[in-house]
């Protein structure tokens, strides 16, 4: 059994405010330790369940958060920015399962540091008319390779939502969100134990009660940006068009085209600095 892990930061154990997940802040070293702890717990759980290969993609910001010397040596680590598949770099049809660690709610929803890919530039992302979060955006990509998302960790809002979206998924609540920047947390040893056990249980059930890979083709992608200037930059993506002054629309039969269009438009829109 081969297991792919994508780990973000905002939903990890002990994280409750944005300064913790930003490299320029003094709280950032705490974030790195929490990400490493949650990742190692999932790796242990995967190998306990019989995995022969585990690939971890550091999926937060510039993807240089997890230090390889602090990672379980049985796993491989993808680090660094400008990865072709971003938060899902390394995913392929050789994997049997995807685990999403430290994920969070989308913008406009309740949860710790709720956002969708961009803290300020992107207002909402919709696939086939339905607002989606980063777990769903990445889950569809895993599904395009035939790989199901069988486990997710984060606060109670993202875990509740993903259980509705993916029947049979296992989740672990890492903290109870009180607001966007406040949470009831427990010791990371407690959450890591839960993650390890949850991952083992999720993978053990693969053969008995398989989780279906995410798929909803054909696809219509809509990205609603914060400003018209963001949208004007994003529409340089070939094949896209404006559906409203701030919303860019793109259609495709296959999800890889949708995912690449999404990454391209997100990058193009980021070139606009709303401070100037």
- In the set 104, 115, 161, 230, the catalytic residue is 115
Write down the pLDDT at residue 272. Answer: 67
- Composition of the chain by helix, strand, coil, percent to 5: 35, 25, 40
pLDDT tens across the length of the chain (276 residues): 999 999 999 999 999 999 999 999 999 999 999 999 999 999 999 999 999 999 999 999 999 999 999 999 999 999 999 899 999 999 999 999 999 999 999 999 999 999 999 998 999 999 999 999 999 999 999 999 999 999 999 999 999 999 999 999 999 999 999 999 999 999 999 999 999 999 999 999 998 889 999 999 999 999 999 999 999 999 999 999 999 999 999 999 999 999 999 999 999 998 765 544
Write down the pLDDT at residue 245. Answer: 96
| Distance in angstroms between the alpha carbons of the first and the last residue of the chain | 51
Write down the pLDDT at residue 274. Answer: 54
Write down the pLDDT at residue 276. Answer: 40
Structure tokens at 157: 């809002």
Q: Has domain 2-107+134-204 been given CATH number 3.10.580.10?
A: no
List CB contacts of 99: < 8 A, sequence separation 6 or more. Answer: 3, 4, 5, 6, 42, 46, 149, 150, 151, 152, 199, 202
Tell me if residue 230 falls in helix, strand or coil.
Answer: helix
- CA torsion angle for 196, 198, 199, 204 (degrees, to 10)? 120
Q: What are phi and psi of 23, to 5 degrees?
A: -60, -25
Write down the pLDDT at residue 103. Answer: 98
Residue ranges per structural domain of the chain: 2-107+134-204, 219-270
Write down the pLDDT at residue 104. Answer: 98
Choices 3.40.50.720, 3.40.50.10900, 3.40.30.10, 3.30.1360.130: CATH for 219-270: 3.30.1360.130
Please give the model's pTM, rounded to 2 decimal places.
Answer: 0.96
- Residue 115 among the catalytic residues: yes
Pairwise CA distance, residues 181 & 112, whole Å: 6
Write down the pLDDT at residue 176. Answer: 98
């Amino acid at each position: 059994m081969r297991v792919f892990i994508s780990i973000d930061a905002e939903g990890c154990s002990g994280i409750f405010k944005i300064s913790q997940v930003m490299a320029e802040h003094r709280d950032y070293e705490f974030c790195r330790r929490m990400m490493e702890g949650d990742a190692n717990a999932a790796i242990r759980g995967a190998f306990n369940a019989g995995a022969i290969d585990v690939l971890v993609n550091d999926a937060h910001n510039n993807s240089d958060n997890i230090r390889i010397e602090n990672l379980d040596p049985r796993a491989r680590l993808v680090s660094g920015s400008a990865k072709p598949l971003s938060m899902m770099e390394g995913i392929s049809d050789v994997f049997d399962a995807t685990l999403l660690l430290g994920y969070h709610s989308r913008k406009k929803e309740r949860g710790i540091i709720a956002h969708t890919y961009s803290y300020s530039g992107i207002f909402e992302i919709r696939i086939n008319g339905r607002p989606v979060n980063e777990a769903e955006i990445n889950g569809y990509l895993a599904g395009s390779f035939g790989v199901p998302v069988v486990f997710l960790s984060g606060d109670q809002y993202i875990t509740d939502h993903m259980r509705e979206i993916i029947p049979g998924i296992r989740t672990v609540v890492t903290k109870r969100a009180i607001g966007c920047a406040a949470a009831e947390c427990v010791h990371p040893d407690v959450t890591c134990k839960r993650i390890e056990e949850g991952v083992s249980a999720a993978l053990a059930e693969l053969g008995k009660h398989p989780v279906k890979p995410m798929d909803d083709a054909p696809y219509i992608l809509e990205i609603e940006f914060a400003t018209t200037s963001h949208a004007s930059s994003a529409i340089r993506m070939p094949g896209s068009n404006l559906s409203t002054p701030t919303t860019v629309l793109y259609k495709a039969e296959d999800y890889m085209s949708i995912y690449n269009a999404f990454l391209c438009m997100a990058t193009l829109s980021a070139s606009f600095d709303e401070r100037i």
